[in-house]
Amino acid sequence: MKYEIKGGNLPAVVCYLEEGESMVTESGGMSWMSPNMKMQTSTGGGIGKAFARAFASEHMFQNTYTAEGSSGMIAFASSFPGEIRAVNVTPDRGIIIQKSGFLACEAGVELSTVFQKKLGAGFFGGEGFIMSKLTGQGTAFLEINGAVVEYDLQPGQKIVCATGYLAAMSESCEMDIVTVKGVKNVLFGGESLFNTQITGPGKVWIQTMPIVRLAESLIPYLPSKS
């Protein structure tokens, strides 16, 4: 499978498939394609996994598109301004992603859910108890809010980010929450009481404009009800 990402801040990834190659996306994820792409809808591993994906704010059903008779083309567009980022998933390198961060993947990649082991991270980290997880072998495409900044953390190395800024991390990373220290900092610092801390080893993808922050910034400009 070959691909190219187009569109700047309103991106789409165009995938070029050889005959017999397949791409998987959520229900309604396809934007345009060549006429020889055959679609098959499934629960993506059974009804249990379908309900688990629903808890993670993903769609219950998945569509698999396969090039039949000749090579084919299929495109997947982002649902909000930002970036589409390709990630390489291997059997020893799973990736944890934010809710609604999955766009599409090769047929060898599986989308499932993961539960946060630490209660604090689930309650206060802003990511929730349930996130999505990519495992298997192949290329997957993620939707990132705004631009993306990547960090490669060494074992024990940490990075702290505000709520909602964590887009994805390697499965080998550990996520926890830390509190803002100092009464004046809490009361007048303008930041939330809790931040998300990620500990390596592994890669971290941070987004520059979480969709929640974008919505908050637009509120003052929206007409108020009279």
Q: What is the CATH number of the domain that holds 11?
A: 3.60.160.10
204 inside domain: yes
Residue found under tokens 């190219």: 4
What type of residue is 89?
Answer: V
156 inside domain: yes
How does the average pLDDT of the chain come out, rounded? 84
What are 62-116's pLDDT values in tens digits? 899 999 999 999 999 998 889 999 999 999 999 999 888 999 999 999 998 887 6
Question: Which domain, by its residues, includes 157?
Answer: 2-218
Does 128 score more than 80 pLDDT?
A: no
**Residues ≥6 apart with Cβ < 8 Å to 207:** 82, 144, 145, 146, 147, 148, 165, 166, 167
58 inside domain: yes
226 inside domain: no
What are 15-45's pLDDT values in tens digits? 999 999 999 998 788 999 999 999 999 866 5
CA 212 to chain centre: 15
Contact 72, 139 (CB under 8 A): no
89 inside domain: yes
31 inside domain: yes
CA atoms of 86 and 5, how far apart (whole Å): 9
Length of the chain counted residue by residue: 226
| Mean per-residue pLDDT, 120-137 | 68
139 inside domain: yes
- In angstroms, what CA-CA distances link 89 with 23, 110, 119? 14, 10, 27
Contact 166, 150 (CB under 8 A): no
Query: How many domains does the structure of the chain reveal?
Result: 1
18 inside domain: yes
Q: State phi, psi for 128 to the nearest 5 degrees.
A: 85, 170
CA atoms of 147 and 47, how far apart (whole Å): 35
| DSSP E strands, the chain | 2-6, 12-17, 22-26, 32-33, 37-42, 62-67, 72-77, 82-89, 95-97, 102-106, 109-115, 130-136, 138-145, 148-153, 158-161, 166-170, 174-179, 194-199, 202-207
Whole-model pTM: value is 0.82
